[in-house]
């Protein structure tokens, strides 16, 4: 498992914590970090009732790590985006409760990771932004629209809006706000309220209430990233 991601042992109640650990890069998603998330999800067993996802330091996750992207082929970049999309799909289809603890920046693919969780608890410092279409990449769009509504999602994406914690709460990106440094008591209460749902029921519940379509989402992502000129689009976005 990557040293950029830690997965705690299950608590007696079945809670595990997955922490992104690149605080010097605002927990941006390098290829290694994404593979660490996959390895953590692989390691979760039937004893897990809930997974809490957090970011070390001041930020949840700043999204795709563009470091040295010019030196990577477009095929390599495509694979990185696909692996992120697969993380989103796995979180949405989990048979345990998924909870994001969002503090600071949740941008791009980091915002998509948060939105893929069933419950999103934010601090007053939480901020969301979804800039993917600014460089032509379609990732997590249907999930955003399902949460915020199609019209609100369009405005967010068209204008590359940055939403503070209160705006995120108003449109549903956050389920609730909490100033508690340690939300353990609240998470235990959420777990208690779902205690009668077994893994099969949770998986079915999430599947039936997920407006997305993993295969269509992946196909649209691949089409968007495969469009010629990805490097130029990223460079133009980063200059703006």
Give the tens place of pLDDT for each residue, 128-165.
999 999 999 999 999 999 999 999 999 999 999 999 99
**Residue 1: what pLDDT?**
58
| Rounded mean pLDDT, 81-93 | 97
Q: What percent of the chain has pLDDT over 90?
A: 85
Examine the pLDDT at 209 and tell me if it is beyond 90. Answer: no
Mean pLDDT score of the chain:
94
Closest CA to 59 of 88, 21, 18, 7: 21
| Rounded mean pLDDT, 95-121 | 97
**Residue 61: what pLDDT?**
98
pTM of the model: 0.96
**Residue 96: what pLDDT?**
95
């Amino acid at each position: 498992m990557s040293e950029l991601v830690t997965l705690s042992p299950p608590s007696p109640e079945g809670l595990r914590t997955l922490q992104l650990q690149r605080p010097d890069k605002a927990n941006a998603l390098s290829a290694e970090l994404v593979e660490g998330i996959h390895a953590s999800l692989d390691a979760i067993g039937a004893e897990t009732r809930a997974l809490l996802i957090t970011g070390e330091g001041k930020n949840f996750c700043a999204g795709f790590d563009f470091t040295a992207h010019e030196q990577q082929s477009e095929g390599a970049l495509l694979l990185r985006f696909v692996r992120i999309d697969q993380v989103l799909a796995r979180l949405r289809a989990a048979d345990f409760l998924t909870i994001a603890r969002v503090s600071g920046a949740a941008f791009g693919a980091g915002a998509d990771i948060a939105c893929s969780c069933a419950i999103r608890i934010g601090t007053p410092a939480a901020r969301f932004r979804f800039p993917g279409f600014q460089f032509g990449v379609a990732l997590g769009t249907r999930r955003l629209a399902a949460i915020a509504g199609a019209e609100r999602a369009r405005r967010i994406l068209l204008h590359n809006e940055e939403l503070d914690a209160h705006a995120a709460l108003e449109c549903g990106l956050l389920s609730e706000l909490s100033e508690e440094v340690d939300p353990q008591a609240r998470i235990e209460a959420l777990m208690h309220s779902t205690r009668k749902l077994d893994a099969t029921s949770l998986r079915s519940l999430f599947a039936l209430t997920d407006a997305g379509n993993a295969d269509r989402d992946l196909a649209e992502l691949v089409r968007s990233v495969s469009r010629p000129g990805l490097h130029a689009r990223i460079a133009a976005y980063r200059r703006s």
